[in-house]
Structure 1
Amino acid sequence: MLSATFPRSGPRPPRQRRWPSKNSCKIPERCPQVRPVFSTAPDDGRKYVQHRLWADRADVVELVKQGATVYVCGDGKHMAPEVRDTCALIYREATGASAADADAWMDEVERTHGRYVADIFT
Structure 2
Amino acid sequence: MSWRRFGFKFAAAFLVVFGLGYLLPNFSVLPVSTAAFAGLTIAGLSFCVETLILKKDVLPFTYGLISFFLSLFGLAFLKMGAAIDLSWLGLLAAALIIGLVDLIIPSTLN
TM-score (norm 2): 0.31
- More relative contact order, 1 or 2 (CA 8 Å, 6+ apart): 2
Structure number with bigger Rg: 1
Structure showing the higher helix proportion among its residues: 2
Structure showing the higher strand proportion among its residues: 1
